[in-house]
């Protein structure tokens, strides 16, 4: 990976289909997500296709799936498969993994193996979809391992399109994605790098408070077109949090093309733009110029 040649690092993209054609979500939840994002003609690109897409745009992307089998009953795409597929495209793809906290000790062992053997660079949690509160002690052994491994934990926060419009929301509880629940995690694991994913509607102020107060808590801007960002998020991104805000799209439901086109119109200081688009993520993920040019 040649960091200098990249125009941006997208820290939030989804592997939605496995090599065997397995979808990351059930048909009902996938359809609800596509409808929520108004993603007409939404398709599920393979990881090879994602690599070609980002390579053609001189961007890198963090790629993950979500292991939510405990709540949904739908089997997850293999983390090892995602990581191996990303390893075939090291110039543009950065593998994250997802482990359901309900897996207990087996999940902890898997986390260590994925980092040691597959080069995974972080872990994705979706509390609402995985059916747990971030401050539930069931997840603490997994957090402890991730903190020790020195890689970030990315938490979905705020509203979700998954289950939207499905009776009962498909069993998905929005309250688990309140960023204040992650504040306890930041206290109890003070060296753990945490990313709060998305503008956190309806808890945007809470997310800003946590990221401002806790030195290792970051915010990614995925899942929303920048033209819809609340004013306080833009204000903090320009000032207090300019070193802790990250570009993310939520590809494939929201493309980086659309996100970047709208971001160009946002009132962001010229000196802050490159931090959001690439520099903050490169530092957080340990993508130093020396490392990436090797």
Residue reference for tokens 């998905």: 172
- Place 69 in a pLDDT band, splitting at 50, 70 and 90: confident
> What pLDDT shows up at residue 144?
98
Q: Which residues contact 86 (CB under 8 A, 6 or more apart)?
A: 47, 51, 63, 93, 94, 95
DSSP 260: H
| Amino acid 76: pLDDT | 84
Structural domains counted in the chain = 1
- The residue segments making up the domain with residue 193 are 3-292
The reported pLDDT for the residue numbered 66 is 93
Q: CATH number of the domain at 177, please.
A: 3.20.20.140
Reported residue count of the chain is 294
Q: Over range 57-86, report the average pLDDT.
A: 91
* Range of weakest confidence among 141-150, 156-165, 195-204, 263-272: 156-165
Within 10 A of 71 (CB to CB), how many other CB atoms are there? Answer: 18
Q: Give the mean model confidence (pLDDT) for residues 199-221.
A: 98
User: If you average pLDDT over residues 120-145, what whole number do you get?
Assistant: 97
For 110, list phi and psi in degrees, rounded to 5: -65, -40
């Amino acid at each position: 990976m040649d960091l200098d040649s990249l125009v941006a690092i997208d820290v939030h993209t989804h592997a939605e289909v496995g090599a065997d054609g397995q979808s990351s979500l059930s048909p009902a939840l996938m359809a609800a997500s596509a409808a929520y994002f108004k993603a007409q003609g939404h398709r599920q690109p393979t990881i090879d296709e994602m690599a070609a897409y980002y390579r053609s745009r001189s961007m890198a992307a963090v790629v993950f799936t979500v292991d939510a089998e405990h709540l949904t009953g739908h089997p997850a795409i293999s983390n090892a498969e995602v990581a191996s597929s990303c390893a075939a495209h090291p110039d543009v793809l950065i593998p994250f993994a997802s482990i359901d906290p309900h897996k207990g000790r087996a999940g902890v062992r898997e986390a260590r193996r994925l980092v040691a053997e597959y080069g995974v660079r972080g872990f994705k949690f979706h509390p609402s979809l995985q059916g747990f509160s971030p401050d539930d002690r069931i997840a603490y052994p997994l957090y402890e391992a991730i903190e020790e491994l020195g890689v970030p934990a990315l938490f979905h926060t705020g509203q979700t399109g998954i289950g939207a419009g499905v009776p009962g929301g498909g069993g998905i509880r929005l309250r688990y994605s309140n960023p204040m629940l992650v504040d306890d995690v930041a206290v109890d694991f003070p060296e753990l790098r945490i990313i709060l994913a998305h503008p956190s509607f309806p808890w945007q102020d809470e997310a800003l408070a946590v990221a401002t107060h806790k030195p290792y808590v970051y915010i990614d801007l995925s899942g929303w077109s920048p033209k819809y960002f609340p004013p306080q998020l833009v204000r903090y991104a320009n000032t207090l949090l300019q070193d802790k805000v990250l570009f993310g799209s939520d590809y494939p439901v929201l493309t980086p093309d659309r996100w970047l086109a709208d971001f160009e119109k946002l009132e962001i200081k010229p000196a802050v733009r490159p931090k959001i688009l690439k520099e903050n993520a490169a530092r957080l993920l340990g993508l130093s110029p020396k490392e990436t040019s090797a």
